[in-house]
Structure 1
């Protein structure tokens, strides 16, 4: 039997990230028992004390056990905790030595959504890949520069440490773990019961690009503003270098440091974000939108669009424009 410990953290935890995994693994036990088979999962809610944590001012979650009472566990699930990142980490720091100890003893770890901030605070993610909610990308890169954040991924799996992308994509990680611990058929059963699309790999279609502006490099901020206001034009690195009196190499270095994007990447992402909004809210066809955002090469536009969003322009429009017309 697999022992699963779901943390009951302090602070504004996302209740669904506690209830969801608890529900799925206990429901699998019910499925098995209904067929005369033994349960596979022993699921426990684990806190720093047995006092209930109150979330959203309404919901009390009572831990089954404290960390001191859990001698051995196969998987520790770290839910998302919202609010001020530093305060959340401070409030839950007593979990960290226990998480590290259990990992060293053979436990696997899984963070859900922005639970990645707590997992990264243990130091166990250094040099490893990690996913989190796309909206928290800039904060995560700033706070944990030694972690390889893969902002477009829904699932990462490195040496018994797992993470999921944003919000409800944690269900895809739960299915992934369920398949690993049981088999494909059981994962398909859970997928159908909970109505979760299986094998999603990317959260790119959901990402809304918002350039990193929480830095102190004012000339780079001005360069970002220029790109965002003139994305429909052809903008070059040399043009920006001349405009803001910064050497080309220095501009590229400072831009990458400040925004986590090269200048070219930033220009592309601003253009594609504008194209996405047009596809969502207008009846323009692919060529019209492409021209509006400053592309003249159809192949280049389609390639860049799919690279950034994970969908073709037509696929994106089909998904998000309710008044979609045949193109």
Structure 2
């Protein structure tokens, strides 16, 4: 059965905080049908407090397909960011707040963008849980919801079935993550390639969660991760690392896998590929040099691993990204040149 996603249409919302997630989910369905001849995995419904058209930021109007009272149960709810101070809108959204609470209690996953996180906090669902919101409203949010564990240094937080994204771009990162969970890594990567992969950071690199691999209690594994993040380009002697951490190699491997759901070699490979991806995006260093710089001593092996992870060869990935960046820089340079635009 398809996963049912309810996208909320609210007055004075940021339109991109719902249109971008909807486009990503549509792209996932399209890629599934094109690649695997499967049916849609996402069924998306746009719902409002009523079916009356709502005016969003910029003066546009959006007409909901249905009202929330007609949705008895849904798998996931996308909550948009609200323009300016969200407290001004909450008084008119009390019925929605109660509906969100009911849906969450029935098993729905909640995903809020920016100031839309206030709706979940208003329902009391974030008490004693981590959350984030738009940076401009950190102080305001903390004042109104002192029991929420506000994570000011994370763009995405997870507390069980509640996800908070600090911005519209972070909501896009979150949607890509969901596509990967439900449709698989291959489809998620294909969708990512359609949505500005040159500026995206992965969900795993920016989110905070009660169950985040970087937040668990095994201090030995955490120390190993920190060491690997700082020394991924080196040739790692796993027995020496285990000895440095005062455990046997067998114990180290077992505890690392138990804590992160992957062996240390796979974790290291992902670190190296992520670093290579950034170098391909941001530098003119040759692919052979990048392979060596991030710790791959065999360029062919690096290319195979990169394509397996990102579905493009390093050279194809660089062409796709640098072409977009070049176009963007050209526009920026032209706009800032003396004598233009007058």
SS at match of 1:189: helix
Deviation at 1:8, TM superposition (A): 0.8
**Which residue pairs with 1:192 in the alignment?**
193
Q: Does 1:9 align with 2:3?
A: no
Residues of 2 paired with 1:156 and 1:56: CA distance?
25
- Residue 26 of structure 1: CA displacement? 1.3
CA–CA separation in structure 1 for the residues paired with 2:183 and 2:171: 18
2: distance between equivalents of 1:56 and 1:115? 14
Deviation at 1:37, TM superposition (A): 1.4
What's 1:68 paired with? 69
Q: Closer, same or farther in 2 for the Cα pair 1:97/1:123, shift >3 Å?
A: same
Rounded to whole Å, the distance in 1 between the matches of 2:89 and 2:182 is: 31
Corresponding residue of 2:19: 19
Determine if contact 1:81/1:114 at 8 Å carries over to the other structure.
yes
Are 2:86 and 2:116, in contact at CA under 8 Å, matched by a contact in 1? no
Inter-partner Cα distance in structure 1 for 2:78 and 2:116: 9
**CA distance in 1 between partners of 2:28 and 2:39 (Å):** 11
Query: Per the alignment, do residues 202 and 135 of structure 1 end up closer, same or farther by CA in structure 2, a change over 3 Å counting?
Result: farther
CA distance in 2, matches of 1:178, 1:165: 19
Alignment gaps of 5+ in structure 2: 208-331, 333-342
How far the C-alpha of 1:34 sits from its partner, in A, is 2.2
Kept in 2: contact 1:116–1:132 (CA 8 A): yes
2:111·2:163 contact (CA, 8 Å) conserved in 1? yes
Deviations 1:278-316 (A, max 9, x none): xxxxxxxxxxxxxxxxxxxxxxxxxxxxxxxxxxxxxxx
SS at match of 1:157: strand
Q: SS where residue 78 of structure 2 aligns?
A: strand
The answer for the alignment partner of 1:146 in structure 2 is 147
Partners of 1:185 and 1:155 in 2: how far apart?
Answer: 23
More helix by share: 2
| Residue in 2 that maps onto 1:207 | none
8 Å Cα contact 1:82-1:88 kept in structure 2: no
Quote the offset at 1:57 in angstroms: 5.2
2:94 aligned counterpart, secondary structure: coil
How far has the Cα of 1:147 moved from its partner? Answer: 0.2
Secondary structure at 1:13's aligned position in 2? coil
**Distance in 2 between residues matched to 1:57 and 1:134, nearest whole Å:** 21
Task: State the shift of 1:98 in Å.
Answer: 0.8
Offset from partner CA, 1:255-295 (integer Å, 9 cap, x none): xxxxxxxxxxxxxxxxxxxxxxxxxxxxxxxxxxxxxxxxx
Shift of 1:86: 2.0
Deviations 1:43-81 (A, max 9, x none): 011111111101235311111111111122100111100
Gapped regions of structure 1 (runs ≥ 5): 204-321, 323-327
In structure 2, distance between residues paired with 1:17 and 1:167: 5
Secondary structure at the counterpart of residue 18 of structure 1: helix
4+ aligned runs moved over 4 Å, structure 1: none
